[in-house]
Structure 1
Amino acid sequence: MVNVCIVVLDAVRAANLSCYGHSRPTTPNIDSVADESVVFERAISPAPVTLDSTASLFTGLYPGDHRAGQRGTLDVDVPHLPELLADAGHETGAVTTNPFVTPGFGFDQGVDRFDAVEHRFERGMNVRKFFNEHKHLPSHRRYLSFLRASLDRNFLSHVGNGLQFRFELFGADDDNGATETTRAATRFFDDASEPWFLYAHYSEAHMKDVRHLYKLPRADRYRFVDEDRVDDVGVQQHPDGEYPADSMDVHERLYDGSIRYLDRHVGRLVDDLKERGEWDDTLFAITADHGECLGEYGAMGHGHLYEPGVRVPLVVKPPAEMDEDPGRRDGRVNTLGLYATVAELVGADADHAQVPSVFADHEHVLTQDYSGSWSWSRYGDDTAGQHALYVDDLKLIRQGESVELYDTTEEEFEAGPPLSDHPRREELVETMDAYLDSFDESTESIDRIDVDESASQRLEDLGYL
């Protein structure tokens, strides 16, 4: 029996890893793993947002069928990935820092040990929400109102959350949870009986509403850029209008620093498994839930179907018993195929999976975004779902009646403007229609989600509430 470890680097796009040709040395440890792995040059996430893409990885279903974002939870009648492993005799664990990938959103099904890393006082109020609701007041009155609202038995927790909100205090080792995630992962390795399965989710590359966008130790934050330059150009999370080229360059350098920091944690997991003598018997996959736009196409962050938002790394180190030779593969694949990959490895039934193993040919690749219909989220705006279909080197992006066709030949991003006239345009539109007709359109979006104060605070920090 083999072990399985899936490492997800939140909001990390493939183009910024050095093993994918990036000019800065962002991923020396991942590069070393890549040397003994299958590296998929053109891997696409099934969705450009965490909740839907991770739900796809856990179920083997496209977002169009599980509709986790609209339901507000992962609730479909198929075995979750950890359940497949548990039924095959694996001890299962999950360690996450993203508030979506938690038991509250239905991701604990089949997980023996779930560590959702926290960064605040559980009993304290959602301070960001409080101040947003009182932003119409003068500054001194906002603080006075906060103190008055804090005068109850949880006073110390309220004040602690206030200090964290204002000064970013009490964070774990001055990062966004990576240190504790790695500790929890190695504790799982200590305690688990072989064979085991671990899902580990890191969030340092996800933009936060804090100074300089990424929460990292100082040396890592400014690894690729001087602090003075960051202050001078005014890097922003949500710039108004077109992002100036200088700001975009500095922003990407900060982003690269976060990836380099994550790479160090991946290296620690790899070293730990090697020291235990378990590396050779472990399928070790490194990927991302989605990519990130840093000003390209006038887009910032994720929730976009352009290449920076959905093209992600996929590095799969096969176990010794698996008949897959290391090397680079340039065929396009959907990372949702990891579900079938793992199922085949352990001999589990995954007939419901809508995408084959990443080692199989993917004739078409589909990615979907329904976040505009998340009425419980600030993302929600009643817009039609967006879909992108890849066929050969063509990419069709569709939202309602709006259609854009791009050439993606050997490009990190879309090559040039949309193709206004192409002989295969109608063929791709018909293929897209066939996919969309196959999905269940009956799901109604909920108006609110019920999460505890901790999850609410973290979702708000990440811009979802």
Structure 2
Amino acid sequence: MVLFDTLSKRFLSTYGSNWTITPNFKRLEEKCVVFDNFYSGSLPCMPARREMHTGRYNFLHRGWGPLEPFDFSAIEELNQAGIYTHLVTDHSHYFEDGGATYHNRYDTWEGFRGQEGDRWVPRICSEPSLNKNLLNKQGMSAVQHYANRSRITSEEEMPSVRTINAGLEFLDHYKEEDNWFLQIECFDPHEPFYVPEKYREMYHNGASEDAYNWPAYRPVDNTVTCDKLDDLKKEYAALITMCDHHLGRILDFMDENKMWDDTMLIVNTDHGFLLGERGFMGKNYMPMYDEIVHIPFYIHDPRYVRRTGRRNALAQTIDIAPTLLEYFDVNIEDYQMDGTSLKPVIENDNKIHENILFGIHGSHINIYNGKYMLMKSPEKENQPLVSYTLMPTNIRGFYEKNTLEQGIMIKGNRFTNGIPCVKYPDKTYINPMQFGDLLFDLEADPMQENPLSDKAVMQEMCVKLKKEMEKVEAPEEEFIRVGLVK
């Protein structure tokens, strides 16, 4: 599995882009099934990875956090079935408080330092070299990133390139072996869009030192001109082209070693990104529009005659875990996953989901059935909001003391696999109420430009949403928060 972070499908030639340079993503069409309706479930980074392990939605029960002691992990299940698992990654969130239990599920792992605000290179903020305001981004992560760059002076030293190299080294050693799973996970093309000049020159000429390559998560205002947004998209495209180049090295290796005959390949991402579209930059505080949640997905399964072509059936990140387990003949009937194997879609484009859910904890709760998409807003104060966890951590720290003091031990349920856990009151920086409920007909309005005000359809989708939330045993507080009292 080759996993890129923040890879937007609208920047890939496979999905219709006519200006970005992505020949190797396009090349995947020759060997892979391409999914046209693949969606994120829980966002952003670590909630998505929890879904990849558990096959269950994360966002209804808690926000960003590690795998829980009560979680089922498909990776651990593969280990127990005799499948060797190895992770190579430069995604620094794995090694912070909010993600520190994922990489240890693999038999072995390799990590490469230096991406974004990875607390790696020692820095003293008074150093002049760290006070340059060149990255269009405020805060410690920007200062840290600039310090990290002092040790990254060539493409070969970039963490994502070192990650790809480590993955290729594993493949070279074990290409003749059976029963292994390799996850090559690159933080790129996540922002900042820091990329060698040779890729930037494919899109524009200009000094990289003052490039607009790290957008703050905020609405677009009059300080961000159309020219700046155009430059920002080019910087992002240049980084995607670098990812494409190194993806090509993996495809070359598979060609040269005839690995397509007996090796599954998945190429995927966790979510997309808004670069000025709809007046927003970012991925987390606005409604989860198509540009964010509708993501690219490629899979090559050597067992089937129909190994290429497009598939239209709805699928999601929650389907990855059961797909891996089914591929390795690991029994999945005993595990109540929200996802299901992609096998019926790959074989015959058969429907596996009537409805899918997606969202960010504390924001809209969203449902899509292939035609209508409802983004259900909280009512009034976005409360009550709770977290179910035995791991009370955020991205880089623990829950605040006053939150810990209010924790209540509750009985085990489906989400906790029967294990008692603690329910904590939660809060969020997100203000979804400013957008209200949003309803779209994506068949008639795929760009989501014309929200519907059809009361009958709204009622129908609310009924479906409540039913799906009940199916996954969402906390009672979530029903109250969005006005769907249980």
Q: Structure 1 length as normaliser, TM-score?
A: 0.75
1:84 aligns with 2:77: yes
In the aligned structure 2, how far is the partner of 1:86 from the partner of 1:391? 35
Which residue in 2 is equivalent to 1:364? 355
| 1:190 maps to which of 159, 172, 183 | 172
Percent pairwise identity: 23
| 1:16 maps to which of 8, 11, 16 | 11
What is the CA deviation profile of residues 55-92 of structure 1, one whole-angstrom value per residue up to 9, with x for unaligned ones? Answer: 101110101466361xx311153432222322333211
1:265 aligns with 2:246: yes
Which residue in 2 is equivalent to 1:308? 291
What is the CA deviation profile of residues 354-390 of structure 1, one whole-angstrom value per residue up to 9, with x for unaligned ones? Answer: 02223252211211201xxxxxxxxxxxxx3322211
In the aligned structure 1, how far is the partner of 2:453 from the partner of 2:143? 53
1:28 aligns with 2:7: no
Which residue in 1 is equivalent to 2:480? none
Contact 1:176 1:216 in 2 (8 A): no
Indicate the SS of the match to 2:376: strand
Note the C-alpha offset of 1:273: 2.5
Indicate the SS of the match to 2:18: coil
Q: Residues 226-305 of structure 1 correspond to what in structure 2 (within 5 A)?
A: 226-227=205-206, 237-238=215-216, 241-242=220-221, 243-303=224-284, 304=286, 305=288
Indicate the SS of the match to 1:200: strand
Q: Residues 162-173 of structure 1 correspond to what in structure 2 (within 5 A)?
A: 165-166=146-147, 168-171=149-152, 173=154
Note the C-alpha offset of 1:36: 2.1
Indicate the SS of the match to 2:313: strand
Which residue in 2 is equivalent to 1:433? 466
Indicate the SS of the match to 2:150: coil
Q: Residues 31-180 of structure 1 correspond to what in structure 2 (within 5 A)?
A: 31-64=26-59, 67=62, 69=64, 72-102=65-95, 105-119=100-114, 127=123, 131=125, 142-143=126-127, 165-166=146-147, 168-171=149-152, 173-174=154-155, 176-180=158-162
What is the CA deviation profile of residues 308-343 of structure 1, one whole-angstrom value per residue up to 9, with x for unaligned ones? Answer: 111110011112x23544210123321321111111
Which residue in 1 is equivalent to 2:366? 388
CA 1:386–1:65 in structure 2 vs 1: closer, same or farther (change >3 Å)?
closer
| 1:409 maps to which of 443, 452, 459 | 443
Indicate the larger mover: 431-440 or 394-403.
431-440
Note the C-alpha offset of 1:169: 1.4
If asked which structure has higher relative contact order (CA below 8 Å, sep 6+), I would say 1
In the aligned structure 1, how far is the partner of 2:291 from the partner of 2:167? 29
Contact 1:395 1:406 in 2 (8 A): yes
In the aligned structure 2, how far is the partner of 1:310 from the partner of 1:227? 32
Which residue in 2 is equivalent to 1:377? none
Which residue in 1 is equivalent to 2:187? 203
Which residue in 1 is equivalent to 2:324? 342
Contact 2:220 2:276 in 1 (8 A): no
* Counterpart residue identity of residue 453, structure 2: S
* Counterpart residue identity of residue 226, structure 1: N
CA 1:326–1:419 in structure 2 vs 1: closer, same or farther (change >3 Å)?
same
In the aligned structure 1, how far is the partner of 2:340 from the partner of 2:143? 48
In the aligned structure 1, how far is the partner of 2:63 from the partner of 2:305? 34
In the aligned structure 1, how far is the partner of 2:21 from the partner of 2:162? 21
Note the C-alpha offset of 1:249: 2.0
Listed as ranges, the gaps of 5+ residues in structure 2 are 131-141, 380-435, 478-486
Indicate the SS of the match to 1:258: helix
CA 1:102–1:188 in structure 2 vs 1: closer, same or farther (change >3 Å)?
farther
CA 1:244–1:198 in structure 2 vs 1: closer, same or farther (change >3 Å)?
same
In the aligned structure 2, how far is the partner of 1:123 from the partner of 1:48? 23
In the aligned structure 1, how far is the partner of 2:147 from the partner of 2:118? 17
Listed as ranges, the gaps of 5+ residues in structure 1 are 1-5, 132-141, 147-160, 209-213, 371-383, 444-465
Indicate the SS of the match to 2:314: strand
* Counterpart residue identity of residue 467, structure 2: A
Contact 1:82 1:109 in 2 (8 A): no
Paired residue total:
389
After the TM superposition, which parts of structure 1 deviate over 6 Å for at least 4 consecutive aligned residues?
Answer: 120-125, 161-164
Note the C-alpha offset of 1:422: 4.9
Indicate the SS of the match to 1:77: coil
CA 1:433–1:87 in structure 2 vs 1: closer, same or farther (change >3 Å)?
same
* Counterpart residue identity of residue 276, structure 1: N
* Counterpart residue identity of residue 431, structure 1: K
Indicate the larger mover: 171-180 or 352-361.
171-180
**RMSD across aligned C-alpha pairs, in angstroms?**
3.2
